[in-house]
Structure 1
Amino acid sequence: MYPPLSTIGQMGLASVLSIFSLHFAGVSSILGSINFMSSIKKVKFNFLKIMNVSLFIWSVFVTTFLLILSLPVLASCLTMLLTDKLLGSSFFNSIGGGNPIMFQHLFWFFGHPEVYILILPAFGVVSYSVLVLAGKNKTFGPMGMLFAIFSIGLVGCLVWAHHMFVVGMDIDSRIYYMSATMIIAVPTGIKVYSWLLTISGFYLVFDSLFFWVVGFIFMFTMGGLTGLVLSNMVLDINLH
């Protein structure tokens, strides 16, 4: 995908058609997201009532918001890539005055929220699963869980350049992206602790749901810790 590998470096229709396929996937995702968002809005009319909607529905709502926010950026990026390839423009061609780094910014502005698009519905499923597991009628700290989902979605849109520490950004930008990436660990930690406090004191039954929830929390905690370590720009650059 990165130019000039995808523009000058690949001749023929294969790369053009693959870019078009991403366009179509993006359009279908946007339309599906609008459908989800409008359906969720019709669930409750009153603001105070909508705060009591299940965490799974809220996680899907934030997911659709991220899709609607990030996919148009990817679409513009892919359109510029196609014009570079087919019409001879120079958006990402340094010979014609363009900047290939701009492609990375546009691509990762979509690419990082995409990670949260994948994981947020799973958060909702786990939040519901721990309720079933513990036999309780609400999770520990439901408002904290709700605003943790919101803040993960919001801050997730502001940290895309931690994928680009080695492309020659200035030190101030790298410090900002490093710090913002570390801050995401705070709402994520709130979610993990709330799940653990929800299932504390429950009647222990070794069934598939219990193993799945515990396995998810363990794997997610380990993955989150590696993400926290790798957000350090010095370590990231040395590992690269």
Structure 2
Amino acid sequence: MSIPESLPVRLSRRGFLNAAALGAASIAVSACSTTGPGPAEPPPPAYVEPPLADYVTMYAAVSDGGFDLPAIPVDKIDPQYLRQIVQDPTGQKPGTIVVDTTNHFLYLVRPGGQAIRYGVGLGRAGFAWSGDAVVQWKQKWPKWTPPDEMIARQPELKPYSADNGGMPGGLKNPLGARALYLFQGNQDTLYRLHGSPEWRSIGKSVSSGCVRLMNQDIIDLYDRVPSKTPVIVTADVSDPTAGTNHKGIAIDSGVPTG
């Protein structure tokens, strides 16, 4: 039997149509599987400062460096001066310490627009110096050496003069459990952030000292900040350069050698 001449044509047309259909399907599948830009990655979550302990725990009695610090009666202190996390009002970079001498606050700026705020007490020296500095030196239970000018005003301090070796660290030492020594360049400003057993003076202006924190607070701050931490002392956190004064009243003769 002979094969009609038209059959190869029909087969060729059928093969063409089949090939075309397969090509179209392939294109459709390819179009479905084409990888374009995926959905945008969600932004990382904003930094949230870990919560602080409750006040009774934060200000509980503690043994430190061979000394027994008594508990602080938090119910007798204005709550605004207790350690807390707040929105940062300073606009400074994280890691900066800002001392607000108008409102008796010290801010440790944290990421995410937050700050840890501590209440402070201020003395004559605390109001006398303002400006930028860095934490050049840190000391636990520091020795206190009143300068000659202070001894001239208060002769009863002569036993603690530099010639007599200063006052050893301890519960009655005016620098408290910790001291942060502020420098500008290589120059000691004689300005200190320090502890104090006198919790009643927090939030107030007292007769002597620089910037004093409750001992439990200065221990917490000491552990959070490294050397070279920038410090701004100002009467106006919105304009830290206003009223800069670098002629402080010395309360300490300087960093001990060695």
Judge same fold: TM > 0.5, yes or no: no
Q: Which has the higher strand share?
A: 2
TM-score norm. by structure 1 comes to 0.25
Structure 1 or 2: larger helix share?
1
Greater gyration radius: 2
TM-score using structure 2 length: 0.24
